[in-house]
Chains A and B, each alone.
Chain A
Amino acid sequence: MGAFDLIVVGGGLVGAALAWGAQIAGANVVLLDEGDVAFRAARGNFGLVWLQGKGVGIPPYMHWSLRAGRMWPDFAERLSTAVSFDIGWRQPGGLQFCFSEAEIAKRRDIIARTQADGGDIDISILDRADLRALLPDIGDEVVGASFSSLDGHVSPLYLLRALQLAFQAAGGHYRPGFRVEHINAETGAFRASSQIGSVLGRRIVLAAGLGAAKLAPQMGLSMPVKPERGQIVVTERVKSFLPYATNCVRQSVEGTVLLGSSHEERGFDEGTDVATTAALCRTAARVFPALADATVVRSWGSLRVMTPDGLPIYEESARYPGAFAVTCHSGVTLASVHALEIGPALVQGRLPSHLSSFTSERFDVHQS
């Protein structure tokens, strides 16, 4: 087999979005996926396309996230058409609940800072009466919420499946069970090797999540990512009662209620613990007291991919032009721009200039 136009290392939400986007932009792409044995960050994603408050104080990240949010309806439409099943995308707006006036004040501050940085998003404060009008079952402890109509939600696992399937339907080459061990730069091409073979490509992008930390240096790139564990609890299916995305409770299209999520430093431990599960349940029951009666059917832990400052990395190797690195912890929210903007950019061989502040150079210690 000859050389592909682009090798995508990593078949998770980030890699699959890039691969689909590059393939439909006209490239011949191969997607190398370790498989479901990998630390799939998609499993731990709460499924929010969450814009309010994202990137406050870091304008490039805020604008990039808002761009992703604006692009989501078109992205979801195109993806759903390609696979003909419901990925669970809904954009009813999102609520971040507040339990005190102090928390309301913090949300007001976020609104002010968003406006000061030119954020193109309307965020409003709802008082208790407003909130009760929207959600009659809301608990007495919730004093208010911030609301943005731009926020939405989706099933992360259906999204991942849709991206992988749409990629293949567009003629892309999907290689499961392909855990990349080595990457070599050859004359005018890159070779990615695993125990089950190797592939050759004119360009390569590392989107291997936590696995990228070891692979990146082989391409003269730096991806200092570490795992952050998040636990999620899910209940039995119940009749629709929550037609909004929220920061801590999400009802899926199928009726299950997700309660999440935690932020823990536990290395590569994907486990769960009762104290965390209980805390997630307690918060959910403060927001919706009726949930106390719902049966929990599962809880699980999963690992997010975190850079030192929590922001994405978009970078081309200076030593090996044509080798790129992409990572982030918002694989759902940013899926739209990864597919429709970064994918085509990789085909052109050049990252958008407005992402120049997202290289890993920001982690270097500069000595004067």
Chain B
Amino acid sequence: MFTRVECSSALPAGDNVLIFEGSQLPFRPGDSVAAALLEAGVSPLRKNPVDESPRAPFCMMGVCFECLVEIDGKQNQQSCLTRAHPGMVVRRQRGARTLA
């Protein structure tokens, strides 16, 4: 569904790696978390809390809330609006978030 506009194929080597569900996942500088996960072929990112249907990024611009993940321990984060950083710990969003 989404394709990159850059033509370069290989991901640059270096520190640009985040942790997704315990595994290392490289990203390009400037990527959103959603873009990095999509490029790595991660799907779905979460299950809908009402009917448990699988969900993945849809609008990539902060509107649809389909791309929610847990980032550094914070639930329900919009991965399309969050820039990827080295060492960031990302997990799938599991169900609805809990209030503290």
Q: Which of A239, A253, A291 is in CB contact (< 8 Å) with B97?
A: A239
Is B99 an interface position by the 8 A CB rule? yes
A51 to chain B, nearest CB (A): 28
Is B100 an interface position by the 8 A CB rule? yes
Is A279 an interface position by the 8 A CB rule? no
Is A137 an interface position by the 8 A CB rule? yes
Question: In the complex where A236-B76, A295-B76 touch, is A290 in contact with B99 (Cβ < 8 A)?
Answer: yes
A288 to chain B, nearest CB (A): 8
Is B49 an interface position by the 8 A CB rule? yes
Which chain A residues border B50 with CB–CB below 8 Å? 253-255
| Docked pose: A57 CA to B49 CA in angstroms | 44
Is B58 an interface position by the 8 A CB rule? no
Q: Which of B65, B95, B96, B98 is in CB contact (< 8 Å) with A297?
A: B65
The tally of residues in B whose CB lies under 8 Å from a CB in A reads: 10
Contact with A along B49-91 (1 / 0, CB 8 A): 1100000000000000100000000001000000000000000
Give the residue name and chain of the B residue nearest to A137 (CB).
Answer: B99
Is A363 an interface position by the 8 A CB rule? no
Q: Which of A137, A255, A290 is in CB contact (< 8 Å) with B49?
A: A255
Is A293 an interface position by the 8 A CB rule? yes
| Docked pose: A293 CA to B100 CA in angstroms | 7
Which chain A residues border B96 with CB–CB below 8 Å? 237-240, 255
Cβ contact within 8 Å between A291 and B76? no
Cβ contact within 8 Å between A294 and B49? no
Cβ contact within 8 Å between A294 and B65? no
Which chain B residues border A297 with CB–CB below 8 Å? 65
Which chain B residues border A238 with CB–CB below 8 Å? 96-99
Question: What DSSP secondary structure best describes chain B's contact surface?
Answer: loop
Give the residue name and chain of the B residue nearest to A257 (CB).
Answer: B99
Among B50, B96, B98, the most chain A Cβ lie within 10 Å of the Cβ of B96
Give the residue name and chain of the B residue nearest to A252 (CB).
Answer: B50
Question: What DSSP secondary structure best describes chain A's contact surface?
Answer: loop
| Docked pose: A124 CA to B100 CA in angstroms | 30
Cβ contact within 8 Å between B99 and A237? no
Among B50, B76, B95, B99, the most chain A Cβ lie within 10 Å of the Cβ of B99
Question: In the complex where A236-B65, A255-B49, A297-B65 touch, is A241 in contact with B97 (Cβ < 8 A)?
Answer: no
Give the residue name and chain of the A residue nearest to B78 (CB).
Answer: A295
Give the residue name and chain of the B residue nearest to A288 (CB).
Answer: B99
Which chain B residues border A254 with CB–CB below 8 Å? 49-50
User: Which residues of A207-258 have CB atoms within 8 Å of chain B's CB atoms?
Assistant: 236-241, 253-255
| Docked pose: A352 CA to B100 CA in angstroms | 51
Cβ contact within 8 Å between B99 and A241? yes
Which chain A residues border B95 with CB–CB below 8 Å? 239
| Docked pose: A253 CA to B96 CA in angstroms | 12
| Docked pose: A177 CA to B96 CA in angstroms | 38
Give the residue name and chain of the A residue nearest to B77 (CB).
Answer: A295
Among A137, A237, A241, A255, the most chain B Cβ lie within 10 Å of the Cβ of A237
Give the residue name and chain of the A residue nearest to B99 (CB).
Answer: A290
Cβ contact within 8 Å between B97 and A290? no
Contact with A along B1-20 (1 / 0, CB 8 A): 00000000000000000000
Give the residue name and chain of the B residue nearest to A293 (CB).
Answer: B100
Cβ contact within 8 Å between B99 and A239? yes
Give the residue name and chain of the B residue nearest to A236 (CB).
Answer: B76
Cβ contact within 8 Å between A293 and B65? no
B73 to chain A, nearest CB (A): 13
Give the residue name and chain of the A residue nearest to B51 (CB).
Answer: A254
B71 to chain A, nearest CB (A): 13
Contact with B along A151-169 (1 / 0, CB 8 A): 0000000000000000000
B46 to chain A, nearest CB (A): 11
Which chain A residues border B99 with CB–CB below 8 Å? 137, 238-239, 241, 288, 290-291, 293-294
Which chain B residues border A293 with CB–CB below 8 Å? 99-100
| A to B CB contacts below 8 Å, 8 in the list | A237-B76, A237-B96, A238-B96, A238-B99, A240-B96, A241-B99, A254-B49, A295-B76
Closest 4 CB pairs between A and B? A290-B99, A239-B96, A255-B96, A237-B96
A residues in contact (CB < 8 Å) with B: 137, 236-241, 253-255, 288, 290-291, 293-295, 297
Known contacts A236-B97, A240-B96; 10 additional CB pairs below 8 A are A236-B76, A237-B96, A238-B97, A239-B98, A241-B99, A253-B50, A255-B50, A255-B96, A290-B100, A295-B76
